[in-house]
Each structure stands twice: as structure tokens, then as C-alpha cells.
Structure 1
Amino acid sequence: MPSPVVPSDPLAPTAATATVRRLSPAVAWLFSVASGLAVANVYYAQPLLDLIADDLGIGRATVGLVGTLTQVGYGVGLVLLVPLGDHLDRRMLITAQLGLSVAALAAVAVAPSALLMLLAMAAVGVLAVVAQVMVAHAASLAEPADRGRVVGTVTSGIVIGILLARTVAGTIGDLAGWRAVYVVSAVATGALAVLLAAVVPAEARRRPQRLRYPRLVGSVFTLFAEEPVLRIRAGLALLVFTAVTVLLTPMVLPLAAPPFNLSHTEIGLFGLAGAAGALGAGHAGRQADRGRARRTLAVGLTAMLVSWPLAALLPHSVWWLVLAMVVIDYGLQSVHVVNQHLLYLVRPEARSRLTAGYMLFYSVGSALGAILSTLAYEHGGWTAVCALGGGVSLLALAFWWATDRRPAEGDGTGGDGAGRGVSR
């Protein structure tokens, strides 16, 4: 399906896009840190549920709503807030969302009742999507030949934030209580909001025509019909994030049981292994900038498949699981960064909406992986989990092989591509 910029799209630029200011490496890393902190807010509660339950008098079954509401809030934010980046000044939007995040985090920290805490947690989830607005803004500020590296830098921060959130929250919670985790995060978020407002350049572009908000949100879904690249990238995202969640969700069960008997703090340290794999994000971005997107995808998907035989050796040694986490996260980040790089080659005026649509499938994959892995462990133990994860990873590789193999000529992966002829 041809996919030129639709002339009738009210968000399409009405004149040539103005030259943007180049994004410096220092500001790219600042985006990375801020994005990681924003997404970490969604995951802090996971190792703190028992402390929260005891403090607020919540039943063990009910306290699970904390994580559910935060994740639901994140999904709502993807649909309702991220698309605004295509209509409003992204720097202003980022600063506003971070400021509101400070208020939501402070509300969690001082919540006197379970109801108010749950409402504040949902707000934290909604506002955490500022990380995706930052990715889109960084991609827009980057020069075309450098865009993959910039996206890789910011994405690596998001991944490290997700992986280290449990470790950081568990440590602070043990030392000062669960409320201190959100106080520290609120202070750090406020400081980063001020710093970003001072140093991040605005995107120089023509003001788009006015568009009613419902139509703006609805266009997230119409892009799936208009852009094959979005459909394929989103499908691949669903599969790879399902696979990773299959590994991360149930691994606490065998590690906490004999013969390992690891504490929650020790299990949280496994996040450090996954963070090492996030180095794949930067490498994948540089490879995509050099026109090697398909090769990077092939390597990343193969790495994810190879990680499962390693994970299956957990009964023999925990070090096999450590190695599996490094390998699978390296593969995941390679795929994720290339996916985003290819998305940002099309429809420059719709980058925030493309991000929102793509990340919705990431959220669906994460939820699906959590459900399926829990069922697999219940019925077949760790072996069944590894078989499930290996099957999903193999399906992802097959999906890529069937949909993503195109002639190298004119694939658009080595430059800006003007949004056309891109590998789909």
C-alpha cells in the first residue's frame, strides 16, 4: 500500500519543516536518564507490595491492584497523552508531564488511605508515558544519519530504568520504608524537569493546523490502516515483549524455592544482569544508522531464541539464568531500537502517534506474557516456561522472516528515507 503524507491530514506540515537544532550527546543522555526514571515509577511497587499492604491495611489479594492500575494507567496514557506530541510543543509537554508526575508521586508518598493511594498510582502510570514523548522528541531533534544512535541511547535508559526499579525500590524500602521510594523519585523527577526545561531545545517546525482532540486520538488507530510499517513493527513488538515477560514474571518462583532459597533482595539483583544486555540498544542504533537494520534484527531475534536453552539450565546453576537474561535483553533491545528507527523514517508529522500505537502492542505483549507464563509454571514448572518462551521467540523469528525480508535497494534504513520505501 503506498503511504505518502496524506494531504488532508490536518497535522501534516503546511510548509517545509524548519531546520532543527542538533541534539547534543549530553542532552541525549539526559533524555535517557529522565526516561528511565519516568518508566521506573511504574515498577517501583512490585517489591514493596507487602510493605504497602501492612501499612495501609490492605489484603494480600487486593494489594495486587497497585500494579494492575499502574499498568492500566500507562496504557491509557499511551492513547490519551502521547499523541499530543504531534500537536503541541513537545518540550512544553514533557515539562508539564514531569511536573504533574512530581505531584502524583508526592500523593502516593503521603496517601492516608488505600483508595487515595490507588488513585495516585493510576495517575503515576498515566504520566509515566512521558518517556515515550521524550523518545519521539529526541528522534525529531537528531540528525537523520544519527537518529538510530540517539533512539538507542534514550531507549537504553528506559530499559535500565525498568530493570533496576525493583532493585532500587527494594533497597530504599528496606532502609526507610515504601513511602521513601516515592519521595526520592518525586525529588529526582522535579530536578530533572527543571534541568530539561533549561537545556532541551524546542523542535523548530511549522505550527500544524488545529485538530480536535478526539480526532487526534483516533488517528493513532487509523495509522495502522495507512502504514504497513506500523503494523509489522507492532506485531513484532508484541511477540518479543511477550517472550521477555515470560522469562521475567515467574523467575522469582524457582529462585525463592529450594535449592536456591534466594531472598527478594538477591533476586532483585538479577536486574543488573538484564541491564548489561541493554548495551544492545546503543549498538543496534549505530548499526541501523549504517543501513544494517535487517542484519541487526536477525541477530537480535536469534539471540532471544538462543537464550531459552540457557534459561532451561537453571536447575544446574543460577549463572545460566544470569547469562540468559543478558542474552535475551540484548536481543530485545536490538529489535526494539531498530523497530523504532524504522518507524521514525515514515510520517515525521506523526511520530508521537506512531510511538503510541507501537507501544500499545508492547503493553499487550507484556500483559500476555505475564498471564501465559503464570499458567505455564503452574502446569509444568520452569521447563514449561522455557518451552513457552522458546516457542514465542521462534514465532517472532518466523514472523520477521515472513514479513521483513525486502531487497536491500531503496530500503531506506541507512538514512532519513523521507518516510518512503522503508523496510516494512
Structure 2
Amino acid sequence: MTISITDTAGVKLTRLVVFVFALTAGSSAACLYYLQPLLHTVAGELDVSIATAALLVSAAQIGYLSGIALLVPLGDFLERRRMIPALLLASFAALAVSAAAPNFAVLLPAVFVTGVTASAAQIVVPWSSALAEPERRGEIVGTVMSGLLLGILMSRVLSGAIAQVGGWRTVLLVAAGLQLAMSVSVYALVPTTGRAAAGERYPEVLASIFALIRNYPVLRQRMVLGFLAMACFSLVWTAIVFLLAGMQASPYHYSEFTIGLFGLAGVAGALGAPVVGRLADRGYQREVTTAVWATVLVSWALLAWGGHNVVALIAALLVFDLGVQGIQLSNQSAIYALDPAARSRLTTAYMVTFFLGGVAGSVSAGIAYQSGGWSLVCEIGLAATILGLLLWAAFARKVSSPA
């Protein structure tokens, strides 16, 4: 299988292009989470249980997983300036169908398709990495990741605010309009950059992903760590909706808007991503990975306390998101250094496992909260984090230099 690398050295990665990349990543990733703070409302209107409503989060993540597995690898071989606007247009259509869904049976598959098209976010990230100067790669990827993470977090705030006025269907219509606007923006503002590689047929593209997994131990290690980190992230942000809505004897009884505002507590994590990227650029990959896992570990004590103390809960979310997003960027910095011509396929290998963790976390969240409330959710998350730290300690001992 022959790979020829397309020259992108003549393309200048301006601040405007980086901003468009960040905004596109954020608007696409946000589509996975608009309904998350509104699950209790959707459950009531469509007459389904808490655990069933939580499947909407899982459907979006499974769709995203499918897009990452089947579409993102093509980012190495297709013209991304055309590919991404096409995905954004498909996202617009899926969101419009979701907004008009008459029942849960229609809403669930529409949310799945929205998840598939949201994989555009994971084409933008390696695209920015490919175009960045080597000495600024971690910083630029961190900036684009900040946009992606801010999209995830701000989606909850925007969702709660709009739903308070116009209901959950209006939230989806606004999201559809945003995706349409971003489709036009990417095509109009981002220059043509060509393909990262050429010469493969689609089956060979998919087969090459398994070869990458087999050939790079660092990739396998970061896939496992990513699974655990995303499982924790999805566990918290799915279950917290039920906590804040007052379910299962929770002391909180907040409105949709107030629940959405809790997403602001995680903004610090997204804003800290470029800092993590700069430290990775300077050769502190191993130290950064250890520090962010330790941060998540500490956050679980605060999260447990936050089950009955709102100040502790806000502080916990800030610390928790800082740690989880640091893990994500540390992992991506490590894998993007492995093979410049295969960044989209490396992204696929990593992100498929990452969002399998998300699916596991969201499914567990509904079941765990219904069975044992917030305390059981925190116990599961703590166990997953301890496992992550132990695995990282084992991985770090196997290599003689930062991975």
C-alpha cells in the first residue's frame, strides 16, 4: 500500500483559519449534547423513563463513533474543504428532523444521524495539526480543542436558556441553523489544502487503521486511557442532569436554564487546553499526563460532596473538566506525533475507543443513578479513575522517553 504525502507547506494557518476550525469543531461537537440537560423534559413529553431518555446521549455517541470509524479516515484522502461542509449540511438536516420528531422512535435514529455528522469535529482537529508549524502544533491543536470543548460545555448553557423560552425542539432548530452557517463559513473562508495522502482504496484505508494500532504501542495505550477518561466524563455529565432536576431524593430542583448554566463550571477545563498543549510541546508529556489524571482523582471527592452542596459541586465540575480535558489533549498530542501522513486514521483509532467509553459512561449513568443515586455514580467514576492511574503508571514504566 503506497502513501504519497500532499504538500501543504504553502498554506498559511492564519488566526482566522484557526478560529474557523475551532468554531466548526465546537458547533459540531455541541450537537451531541444539546439534549443532555433536557433529558428529564424530553422524558416527560415523550412519556419515557429516565433510563430510556439517557439512551439519546448514547445514540448520539454511537453515531459519532460510527462517523469516526467510517468517515474520519477519509480525511487523509479527500479534500477536507469539501468534505466538512457536506457533513455540516447533513447535520443541519438531521437536527431539523429531530426538532420535528413526533415520538421517541423517530427522535432516537435522528439523534444517531446527528452524531454521525458531528464527526466533522474530528476531521478538523487533525487538519489543524497537519497545517500547524511543528513548534506550535500542540498550541494550535489545543486552541482547536478548546473550541471543541467549549462547544460541548456551552451547548448545555445555550440549550437550557433556549429551552426555558421555546422548549427543546427550538434548541434543535437553532443548532441546525448554526450548522448551516458553519458549512458556508468553512467553504468560503478556509483555503484549499489538498489531501494528506493519496493512493488508497476505501477498504485499504480502513485496513490501515488496524495496522497503525498494531504498530504503535503508544496508540494502544492512549486508546485505553481515552476510554476510561471519556467514560468518566459522560458518566458525570449525563447523571448530573438527574441530580440537578431533583430526581431520586436529590436536594436540587433547578429549572432547565439553571441546569444548563452548570456547563459554565467546566469552561476552565476547555480554556486550560492550550496550556497543556504548550507543556506537551516543551517535552513534558509524561508529567502532564500524570498531573491531569491526579486532578480527576481529586475531583471525585468534591463531586461526592457536591451531591448535597452546590458550591462544592461547581468547584468539582471545574476541577473535573480541567483534568478530563487535559487527559484528552495529552493523548492527542502523543498520537499525532506518531505519523504525520496518518493523523485522521490515528484520530479514528483513538476516538472510536474514546467514544466507546462515552457510550459506556452514559448508559451506566442512567442505570447507576436510578439504582443508587449520585453516590453510586461517584463510586463508579472513582474506580475508573484509579484504574486509569494504575494503567498509566504501568505504561510509563515501559517507555524510556515521554510518550
- 1:78 aligns to what? 68
2:291 to 299, 312, 322: 299
Identity score, percent: 40
Q: Say what the alpha-carbon RMSD is for the aligned residues.
A: 2.5
Deviation at 1:41, TM superposition (A): 1.1
Deviation at 1:272, TM superposition (A): 0.7
Distance in 2 of aligned mates of 1:295 and 1:289: 12
Amino acid at match of 2:354: Y
In 2 relative to 1, CA 46–385 (structure 1 residues): closer, same or farther, beyond 3 Å?
A: closer
Deviation at 1:339, TM superposition (A): 1.1
- 1:127 aligns to what? 117
2:305 is paired with a residue whose SS is: coil
Distance in 2 of aligned mates of 1:315 and 1:109: 32
- Of 398-407 and 376-385, more deviation after overlay is shown by 376-385
- 1:247 aligns to what? 236
- 2:210 aligns to what? 221
Which protein is richer in helix relative to its size? 2
Amino acid at match of 2:144: V
Distance in 2 of aligned mates of 1:102 and 1:381: 36
2:205 is paired with a residue whose SS is: helix
- 2:145 aligns to what? 155
Distance in 1 of aligned mates of 2:241 and 2:8: 51
Residues 93-137 of structure 1: per-residue CA shift (max 9 Å, x gap): 112211222222233334566655444322211100000000011
Deviation at 1:234, TM superposition (A): 0.5
Distance in 2 of aligned mates of 1:393 and 1:382: 17
Deviation at 1:285, TM superposition (A): 0.9
Alignment of 1:124-203 (within 5 A): 124-203=114-193
- 2:91 aligns to what? 101
Q: Normalized against structure 1, the TM-score is what?
A: 0.85
In 2 relative to 1, CA 113–45 (structure 1 residues): closer, same or farther, beyond 3 Å?
A: same
In 2 relative to 1, CA 308–88 (structure 1 residues): closer, same or farther, beyond 3 Å?
A: same
Distance in 1 of aligned mates of 2:214 and 2:159: 41
- 2:390 aligns to what? 398
Q: Relative contact order, CA 8 A, sep 6+: which one is greater? A: 2
Distance in 1 of aligned mates of 2:394 and 2:168: 47
Residues 205-236 of structure 1: per-residue CA shift (max 9 Å, x gap): 67611x22223223223321122121011111
Residues 161-198 of structure 1: per-residue CA shift (max 9 Å, x gap): 22222331232123123332222222222222222212
1:21 is paired with a residue whose SS is: coil
- Of 272-281 and 111-120, more deviation after overlay is shown by 111-120
Whose Rg is larger? 1
- 1:309 aligns to what? 301
- 1:35 aligns to what? 25
Q: Does 1:59 align with 2:47?
A: yes
Q: Is the 8 A contact 1:284 1:333 kept in 2?
A: no
Q: Is the 8 A contact 1:44 1:166 kept in 2?
A: yes
Amino acid at match of 1:19: A
Amino acid at match of 2:31: N
Unaligned runs of 5+ in 2: none
1:44 is paired with a residue whose SS is: coil
Unaligned runs of 5+ in 1: 1-8, 412-422
Q: Is the 8 A contact 1:44 1:165 kept in 2?
A: yes
2:323 to 331, 345, 356: 331
- Of 357-366 and 178-187, more deviation after overlay is shown by 178-187
Amino acid at match of 2:392: W
Distance in 1 of aligned mates of 2:43 and 2:375: 32
In 2 relative to 1, CA 319–108 (structure 1 residues): closer, same or farther, beyond 3 Å?
A: same
Amino acid at match of 1:276: A
Residues 277-325 of structure 1: per-residue CA shift (max 9 Å, x gap): 2122111111111222122112111111111122222255211111111
Q: Normalized against structure 2, the TM-score is what?
A: 0.90
Distance in 1 of aligned mates of 2:32 and 2:6: 39
Amino acid at match of 1:60: V
Amino acid at match of 2:389: L
Q: Is the 8 A contact 2:38 2:256 kept in 1?
A: no
1:43 is paired with a residue whose SS is: coil
In 2 relative to 1, CA 383–92 (structure 1 residues): closer, same or farther, beyond 3 Å?
A: same
In 2 relative to 1, CA 112–307 (structure 1 residues): closer, same or farther, beyond 3 Å?
A: closer
Distance in 2 of aligned mates of 1:200 and 1:74: 24
In 2 relative to 1, CA 204–110 (structure 1 residues): closer, same or farther, beyond 3 Å?
A: same
2:252 is paired with a residue whose SS is: coil
In 2 relative to 1, CA 17–346 (structure 1 residues): closer, same or farther, beyond 3 Å?
A: farther
Q: Is the 8 A contact 1:156 1:282 kept in 2?
A: yes
Q: Is the 8 A contact 2:76 2:197 kept in 1?
A: no
In 2 relative to 1, CA 145–101 (structure 1 residues): closer, same or farther, beyond 3 Å?
A: same
